[in-house]
Copies of this chain bind each other. A is one copy, B any other.
Amino acid sequence: MFEKLTPIAESEKSLVKAEISALKSRLSVQQQQIKQIKLPVIVLIEGWGASGKGSLISDIILSIDPRSFTVHSINPPTEEEARHPFLWRYFKKIPEAGQFVFFDSGWYGETIKNIMVDDMDNRDCKERIRSINAFERQLVDNGYLVVKFFLHIPKKVQDKRFKKLLDSKNTEWRISDLDKRENKHYKEYAAAWDKLMEKTDTPAAPWHIIDGTEYSKRLQVYRILTDAIAAAAEGKRPEYLPPEESFPLLAMPKLADVPLNQQVDEANYRIQLKEAQNHLKDLHNRIYRKKIPVILVYEGWDAAGKGGNIKRVAAALDPRGYEVVPIAAPDKHELSRHYLWRFWNRIPKTGHITIFDRSWYGRVMVERLEGLCKEADWKRAYHEMNEFEQELSSWGAVILKFWIHIDKDTQLERFTERQNTPEKQWKITEEDWRNREKWDLYEVAVDEMLQKTSTQYAPWYIIESKDKRYARLKVLHILIDALEKVLKEKE
């Protein structure tokens, strides 16, 4: 990859200076433009220790209104961050529309450290590269501009710069033990970076390798950055390429073919419920101690009995170790970011359980049917959501998704009952009746969703809920089996 070094413009120092100055003005104007067109921009600066990452960022931001950017300097993960998936802290930091985010080192620097210091094995490394490429492609497909730089300096230059910094009491603290290690094993680090960049040099987010020894390095950076913004502003985006990798999907029946005649009588239900809840209580304790994260997704027809079902699961759990997250229409600050951002923000930490009452699948149901996103957006979303869940699964999460299912007649009965029972009237709104009119369209969307997003690591379960008691027991038993299984694997 290092041979991809951006060629240096041979030029007088004064000419370089003049061009930089012109490009800074251009960036200044672009900053107002991106605000208007609501383009979010991520600039990632990676590079060798003492290659000038920090001072480069300091220089760039002088041309931008300080209200329009944030700089994140990435340090080793905190306790909290370490209890979440690798991408979590990066996804949390993506800008909202019209804003810049600068990363002073980021997901690559962390990966190199994992390879060189923490001895990440080959399999994990491959997995990591997959994560990173999916992350960047998803950002770009969802309207982000991602510009990646690597500041390159040869070992000799690094030696000299380190020596200078170490010679002064005021600057020696800037060189960490990790930096020294990098310097000592420069060649091995170079090989690792070379390989990593080669595998992540994608159409969505190509690498720009900059000669960090040259006076003209800033010129290169300004040119590349302003050209990239100009192209994005004109709508020139990397073409959406349907990903090569497809997920092995589990066969799912059509909703119309699912019989709904199951029943459990009250006496049996009481006994089985108590038994299942006691069992689950014990399992919760064990997964808490084994630090296994669990994610439950509830989707289903209105009045299918989601709330009551969730309640029976929650009742068995230690309240210190779970959270129920009800998902409504996104708030303004959520709408102005990648649609998965608000879900990334709510995933559990290791050992905890999060129950989503509705979820990211809104993308391919309500957003699809109400025209809240473009056709290309929801069509792409099946794959994006599979990737999201794959990410969570390979981090170690147990993911179970429930479609709480009833038929149209049962819904009508329950709606009518709600309407006629004063204490229940608050549960039924005009919107519920409107959604009901679209039952058939929803059924098509749900069928497609179930077909396209049920994977081994994040399966869908259709929960027949005409008899709510049956549905509650079914969910509890599925959850218990899944937790037993994962605990057995971890023994």
* Chain A interface (Cβ < 8 Å from any Cβ of B): 29, 32, 36, 54, 57-58, 61-62, 65-67, 70-71, 73, 78-80, 102, 104, 173, 289, 307, 310-311, 314-315, 318-320, 323-324, 326, 331-333, 355, 357, 423, 426
Contact = CB atoms under 8 A, between A and B. Distances in A.
Nearest to A427: B32
A295 B7 CA distance: 44
A66 B331 contact: no
Q: Is the interface of A mostly helix, strand, loop or mixed?
A: helix
Contact of A67 (B54, B57, B65, B307): B307
Given A62-B315, A79-B80, A331-B333, 16 more contacts: A54-B319, A54-B320, A57-B319, A58-B318, A61-B319, A66-B310, A66-B314, A66-B355, A70-B323, A71-B319, A71-B320, A78-B78, A79-B79, A104-B320, A331-B331, A331-B332
B331 A67 contact: no
Nearest to A74: B320
Contact of A311 (B66, B310, B319, B423): B66
Nearest to A29: B423
A289 B323 CA distance: 38
Contacts of A80: 78-80
* A-B pairs with lowest CB-CB distance, top 3: A73-B320, A71-B319, A66-B314
Given A78-B78, A333-B331, A318 B65 contact: no
A454 to B, nearest CB: 25
A310 B426 contact: no
A67 B311 CA distance: 9
A102 B66 contact: no
Nearest to A282: B170
A36 B307 contact: no
Nearest to A64: B311
20 contacts: A36-B426, A54-B319, A58-B318, A58-B319, A61-B314, A65-B307, A65-B311, A66-B311, A66-B314, A67-B310, A67-B326, A67-B357, A71-B319, A73-B320, A78-B79, A79-B79, A79-B80, A80-B80, A102-B319, A104-B319
A368 B61 CA distance: 36
B357 A324 contact: no
B319 A67 contact: no
A312 to B, nearest CB: 10
Contacts of A331: 331-333
